[in-house]
Each structure stands twice: as C-alpha cells, then as structure tokens.
Chain A
Amino acid sequence: MIEIRFHGRGGQGTVVASILMSKAFYRAGWQVQSFPFFGVERRGAPVEAYLRLDEKPILLRTNVYTPDHVLVQDSTLLHSIDVTRGLKPGGWILLNSPGTPENVERYAGFRLAWIDAGRLAARHGLGTRTHPIVNTTMIGAFARVLEIPPMEAIEEAISEEVFIKTGKNIESARDAYREVQKVGLIRKAGTG
C-alpha cells in the first residue's frame, strides 16, 4: 500500500487535488481511498488530505500516520508545519516553489522535487496572479515524480472533475509534468 499526504491551505483546492489523484489512479487500475483531514475547514488555514493506493481492495479505514510521499501546495506552510511528520525514509516531497528550495538539509533522508506551480497556473489563467489555483498543476508534476499514474489518467481525471477552464488546467498539468525539477535524495550534511 502507498499512502500520500497533501498539504495546503483552505481554499487552495488541496482536497480536490487528492480526489483528482484518486480518480486518476483508479483509471490506471489502482484501488484507491482518499479523504480530507477530518475537521473544520477554514479559508487560509493549513489543511491536509490523504490518498491510499493499493493493488487489492483497501480495508484500512483509519487516519494516515506514516505517508510514503507528501505534496506541499503552499511553501509558506514550511515555516509553521513539519511536512515530513511521519514521512517514510526515502519518500518524495514535492514542493510548490519558485526556485530551488532553501535549507534543503532539513529534508535529509527524503527525496525532494519542486515545481513553480504558481507561475505555471497564473500563466494559464488559473485563479489570479496573487492567488493562483495550483492543484491541477501540482498533480501533473507529482505524476512525473512518482512515475505513476500515467499522465493520460491525470488528464482524464481533470476532464471528468474540473468544469471551469478544463483545457487550461490540463495544459498547466502537462507543463508541470515536463518542467518539474527532481533534486533527488537529500543527504545529511557531511556524509557526502
């Protein structure tokens, strides 16, 4: 079983990102289960959503404590939240970041990737320049980083679920798939 945690802020479509991803994986033949952090959502407040993937039907109906990978939609969260909480060693962290993230040592033991999703989403007119909607862009990048599911499944899931600017969302996801930067495994300082 693979468990994925999505970080974002209320109003950024974080829960929708997890649902889109679940539908894309289901199309690609996986068993899926996705759910938001069980709580009360407020705009701007940190939110989490989760996705479980398996080849066989998923029986476990509990919270996710030790994700295999995490996706971070908003890098301002990094100041207040430990996005590596419970993350399994070697797990991918995909950050929405305008450039190579600073202080990468703090992700030692994990694999890091980043994408300037805000710029891509704004370029495609998703949301506004100050508040771009990055969820579809992020999952395009994530599909490349994890090497699953196929990009076609992501595109089909967006077509099925996103009714506003569907084409632009798909284009932005495709751009992210191409442009995402994999930094790879971050080693502890001094270990070469």
Chain B
Amino acid sequence: MKRVLEGSQAVAEAVRLSRVAVISAYPITPQTHIVETLSDFCAQGKMNARFLRVESEHSALASLIGAATTGVRAFTATSGQGLALMHEVLHWTSGARLPIVMAEVNRALAPGWNIWIDQTDSLAQRDTGWIQFYCESGQEVLDTVIQSYRLGEEVNMPVMVVLDAFFLSHTYEPVDVPEQEEVDRFLPPFVPKFKADPAAPCAFGPLVPPAAYMEMRHSMAQAMEEALRCYPAMEEAFEGLFGRRYGMVEAVHCEGSDIVLVTTGTVTSTCRQVLEELRGKGEKVGLLKLRMFRPFPTDEIRRHLGGAKKVAVIDRNFSFGASGIFAQEIRAALCNEPGHPPVFGFVAGIGGRDVTADTLKGIYEHVKAKESPDRESVWVGLQEVRNEA
C-alpha cells in the first residue's frame, strides 16, 4: 500500500518487514527518526525484535556483532560522527563475515558542528569491507534495506544503506510499503552458514597468523566479487515480486550523449529534471546514477561512460589533498580504457549547501565550454571569505 512516509520511516518499515531480530542503537544526536520509529514498533509489538539502547555507536555495532554471531538478523542506524566512532567495529563486522545491515544518514563531520548532508562520513568507511548503496528516494531506501539482507546474507558481508540527511531522511513522500507475505517470499528466514550457540558457549581466540590471514582477506575480496555476480539475480527476483529495479548503476540517456553527469543520492533526482529540460533543448546530455559503490561496478561504469566525449562527476564529499571521492573512483575505472573521456570533477553541496537545478545546469555549461578539465576539482558556489585583520 502506498503511504506518505518520511525517508527515515521508510527505512524503519523495511527493517520491520525484514523480520530483524536485534536492533541496537545509540539514540542521541546525530541519530535520526529511524531508530525512534523502530523503538516504537518494538514497544507496540508491531515487531518481534529485541531493541538494545546502548551507550555509544561503537557499542551499538559491537553488540550487534554478538547478536549476529548467533545467526540472527541484526540492524543499526547511525550518521556522521556516530559512524566515525564505529570505524574500528566496521572492520570487525566484515572480517567476521556478519551480514549486518546499517542505515547511514550522510551528515557532515565536525568541526564545525553540522548535521547536514555531506558524504565524507560514509566514504571514509570505503575500505572497511562493507557493501555500500547510495539511495535517491524513500522508495529506494525501503527496497534497498530489504535487498541488502538478501545480498549480504548470500555472500556473508555487511551492507550500509546510505541516505542524504534531511533531503531524504526528513522528507515525506509516497512510498509503496509491501505486504509482509510478499517480503517473506523474497527474503526467507535467515539460515546462517555458521553460528555460535549461546546454549553451548565457547570462546574464540581469533589470532590469525600470517599463514592464514592473507587468505581470509582474499576470501573477503572474493565475496565482494561474488556480490557483483549475485546482484542481477537478486534484483531479478525483487523486480518479479515488486516491479521495481534500480541496477548497480542506472544509465539515463548515456548512449549517444556527448556529456554524461555522474551523480549519487538525491542530487540524482534533481538532475533527472535538469536532464529533461536540457534534452528538450536538444542538448546531448546523459546521467549515470552511481548506486552501488562497494563493490565498485567497474565494468558497468566503463560500459556506460566509455562512449561519452566528457564525463562530469558531482561529489558531495572531498578527500583533502586529492579530489572528490567518486571522481577519483570513476577516473580509476576509466584510466585503462583506450581513448576514455576526460573526467571533470565538481564538489557541490558540502555540509548541506543546496544543489539546485541551476547548480547542475551551471556544471553542464562549464563542461560544455571546456575541452578538458584544468584542475582535479572545481568547488561550485563558493562564497568569498573575507579575513578581517
């Protein structure tokens, strides 16, 4: 049934429908309505889950590692500074091969204190071994949480579902909330490949010497490649039941376009409208939405961007001393392709600054007017800063 839901509530509905058994969260800022809604569901008996209210984000994930080790579905949500505090345990989750799912609301990191959208928090966790999806709408976050349990459990890797602060987390829009029976058909009860039995407790001393550690890591690398292979069949099954499909990436008019804009998150949605307008005026412009960031869908990206004359990547994040992070990755994906298009990098919307239709049109005009990028990143819409002596 379609209901008008907040992005955060859409996440919570998906967690309920996924029949998650344990939820652990730290409820204070920068937390969102996701766990507030889930705690309501648990209190009202709408969900048969154990809700753990812990003392920090680090403990939230650590407690889920305990829960997931016993072979149950587990969920947490966090944001910005909270995710930064989890960092150590993120590595632990993937290393222990636990398919925990987390909703991550992109918020800027301090100082200065800023609770608005900025992707650097989740992108700083790029190398922790979590699958990452960047979502565009309330419907997409709901669907992606459900998909994430199936995909993560298939390859025994944790999944982070990422959504923009406010522009998605606090925005109400119509969302189709599927029936429990439908979701059960897509996502049967979790049958773990291994688990610890609390009735027969034992201790692990996971000291892994050089003779085995490298193979463990290689197995994780293989699991990520497996996730790329499993993804199409997972989405096929999802589309069969729910009629919706997103792709690891989504190419909109990329074929035959001179310039392709690469976007993530809610900027994609605004960009769709800009694309309609520009194409209506005869401009040869396409859009590539990057949805799955880890594992990185290199082949798909090469296929859709290889034919463009120019590529423009819009980053709502920055790696200091380098460039926008998505731009780095797109460049790396293309660099071994003969005759690949130049990649223009744009940094926009940092710390909640709005990325409007005009911002995107400005980026398009900039790229159209130049043969090749004259620097790695162009910061869009910067205001003049006066240093009064």
Contacts and interface: CB of A to CB of B under 8 A. Distances in A.
Nearest to A26: B4
Given A59-B270, A60-B269, A35 B174 contact: no
Interface string A53-72: 00000111111000000000
A64 to B, nearest CB: 10
Contacts of B357: 60, 62
Interface in A85-119: none
Contacts of A60: 269-270, 273, 357
A63 to B, nearest CB: 5
A38 to B, nearest CB: 4
Contacts of B88: none
The SS class assigned to the A binding surface is mixed
A35 B4 contact: no
Contacts of A32: 4, 172-174
A19 interface: yes
Contacts, number: 56
Interface residues of B, number: 23
A19 B168 CA distance: 15
A62 B355 contact: yes
Given A22-B172, A61-B168, 4 more contacts: A34-B4, A60-B273, A61-B266, A63-B356
Given A22-B4, A23-B4, A40-B115, A62 B354 contact: yes
A59 B269 contact: yes
Interface string A25-51: 010000111111010100000000000
A59 B174 contact: no
26 contacts: A22-B4, A22-B172, A32-B172, A33-B172, A34-B171, A34-B172, A34-B173, A35-B167, A35-B170, A35-B171, A38-B166, A38-B167, A38-B170, A38-B352, A59-B269, A59-B273, A60-B270, A60-B273, A61-B171, A61-B267, A61-B270, A62-B167, A62-B270, A62-B357, A63-B354, A63-B356
Nearest to B117: A38
B130 interface: no
Q: Contact residue range for chain A?
A: 10 to 19
Given A26-B4, A33-B171, A35-B172, A59 B354 contact: no
B272 interface: yes
Nearest to B172: A34
Contacts of A26: 4, 174
Given A34-B171, A34-B172, A62 B4 contact: no
B356 A62 contact: yes
A56 to B, nearest CB: 10
A60 B136 CA distance: 11
Interface in B18-59: none
B166 A35 contact: yes
A89 to B, nearest CB: 21
Contacts of A19: 4, 172
B110 to A, nearest CB: 14
Per CB-CB distance, the 3 closest pairs between chain A and chain B, nearest first, are A38-B166, A61-B266, A59-B273
Contacts of A59: 269-270, 272-273
A61 B269 contact: yes
B238 interface: no
Interface string B215-236: 0000000000000000000000
